[in-house]
Amino acid sequence: MKYNLLKSIMYVILSFTLFNSSLIQAQEDEDVVEKKRIKKKKKGKQIVADVQLDLGYSSNVFKTPEGTYLDPETGLDNISKKTSATFVNPDLSIEWLPLNKKRHKVSIEAAYDGMFYSGDTNVSNSNGYDTRADLFYEFSLKRKRIKVRKLSSKDQFKKIRKRKKRKNTHNLKIGGYLRQHKFNYIHRGTGGLRVTRLNQLEEENRYVYGENGYYFKYNWKLKKMFNLGAEVNFFSKDYEEVANFGSYDRDVSVWKLKFDYRIYKRWKLGFGKKMISKNYLSHKANSVTGASVTGTLRKYLEDESSVKISFKAKKIRVKFGYKYFTRDDTYASYWSYAQNKYTSDFIYIFNKKYRVNLEHVQSNRQYMLETNPDGAIRDRTNTSTGLSLKKSNSWGDVRLAVNDSNQVDKDPYYTYKKQLYSLSYSKEF
């Protein structure tokens, strides 16, 4: 394990925080869309805690293939039956603000996000958790810019001065974090812990890792006219070692830029750009046929461009988005692909207590060289539709949701359908 100065400092802080709170923060699995929690922090509070509990049912826990597929462990064709189960998803976080002034803020935040299934024997293999601890400093500066409009002779005679005030807000955040991700690598057909094909070696810990990094975020907002944001993030992932398998340890840098502009009253247009560099420390690169090449290291350069348009009225919120993502495998392009993603989101607010949300996501991915077992170039299509009803109360928020998702891949092992039903409760203390 790699222990650096940042790790040592953050572990001391995390230990102190857990001693006082016994809560830890959570992050999403890298293959799952991040859950964005909106915190309404009350002024003057030094400690803010968030609790969210999801109770639900999954129709396909392991993402079992729809039809016949080539079993990656036996090399034979197989058909598996879907496994359904109920689940509990506790999501807890606590933030301590030792310094919470108008312009300066220091925050120590910790959280825990777990997923626990109950049902058939193998469903417990899908249990896991994600923890995270953050330490950051935030500086905010608000300035009022006064623009004096030219006065008519009539106004000047009446000695009337007309001024237009605009608030200029600058925000800078600098922080570091530690993260631990623990979910098993399982067989999509049976739900069993994965083993290698030739010698049946255990590899369920292939995607278990620790992570540490630091980030810089800047945001400039001019009243309701436009918003400019930039972010730089550097982090390292330290994966569990698996016998006869190259480690996924890597160093990653992420550069983000976003710009939102109010084009007309209730309409807003936004643009985004993200560039990612992933440098593997020991994992070999692959040739055009997919074979590992001795003496090489894998490296990805990823690029994402996005655009969104949104409408906001008293009772209606509408948002449409598009993202174009590319991955460049710098050695021989075997793992390279391009992806188009379309999103739509509709919210209707009945009153202060009730609101309904309908969202749809579709993505199309085209691989450059990676093939399925029959030798055909892979492509993948994902669709997901969700509907939820939320009720807000003084004692917390309750949310009832249903989601239908399916994935179609040229490799049948990755083709599946899944439905989720959940009832959630959340509260800030």
3-class SS letters over 382-404: EEEEEEEEEEEECCEEEEEEEEE
Exposure of 127 in the CB half-sphere (CA atoms within 13 A): 14
Q: Which residues contact 383 (CB under 8 A, 6 or more apart)?
A: 360, 361, 362, 405, 406
> Within 73-127, where are the H helices?
none
**How far, in Å, CA of 202 to CA of 75, rounded?**
17
**How far, in Å, CA of 360 to CA of 344, rounded?**
5
Entry pTM:
0.83
State residue 24's pLDDT score. Answer: 29
State residue 19's pLDDT score. Answer: 36
Token output for 264: 């007309």
State residue 132's pLDDT score. Answer: 97
- Of the candidates 77, 158, 87, 93, the one whose C-alpha atom is nearest the C-alpha of residue 118 is 87
What b/e sequence results for 162-197 when a residue is b if at least 16 CB atoms lie within 10 Å of its CB, and e otherwise?
Answer: eeeeeeeeeeebebbbbbbbbbbbbbbbbbeebbee
State residue 202's pLDDT score. Answer: 83
**How far, in Å, CA of 210 to CA of 192, rounded?**
24
Exposure of 81 in the CB half-sphere (CA atoms within 13 A): 4
Report CA torsion sign: 103, 111, 383, 207: positive
Burial of 5 per CB tally in 10 Å (0-12, 13-18, 19+) = exposed
State residue 246's pLDDT score. Answer: 73
What 3-state class would DSSP assign to 172? strand
**How far, in Å, CA of 404 to CA of 59, rounded?**
10
State residue 87's pLDDT score. Answer: 97
**How far, in Å, CA of 251 to CA of 206, rounded?**
17
**How far, in Å, CA of 269 to CA of 271, rounded?**
7
State residue 35's pLDDT score. Answer: 44
State residue 144's pLDDT score. Answer: 59
**How far, in Å, CA of 260 to CA of 271, rounded?**
6
CB atoms within 10 A of CB 294: 7
DSSP code, position 193: B
Residues of the chain scoring pLDDT < 70: 1-44, 143-167, 198-199
For 305-362, the DSSP string reads EEEEEEEE-SSEEEEEEEEEEEEEETTTSTT-EEEEEEEEEEEEE-SSSEEEEEEEEE
**How far, in Å, CA of 136 to CA of 95, rounded?**
11
State residue 104's pLDDT score. Answer: 92
What does the radius of gyration of the chain's CA atoms come to, in whole angstroms? 25
DSSP code, position 70: E
What 3-state class would DSSP assign to 137? strand
**How far, in Å, CA of 225 to CA of 231, rounded?**
21
Domains belonging to the chain, first-starting first, are 5-428 (2.40.160)
**How far, in Å, CA of 339 to CA of 5, rounded?**
38
Three-state SS across 262-311? EEECCEEEEEEEEEEEEEECCCCCECCCCCECCCCCCEEEEEEEEEEEEE
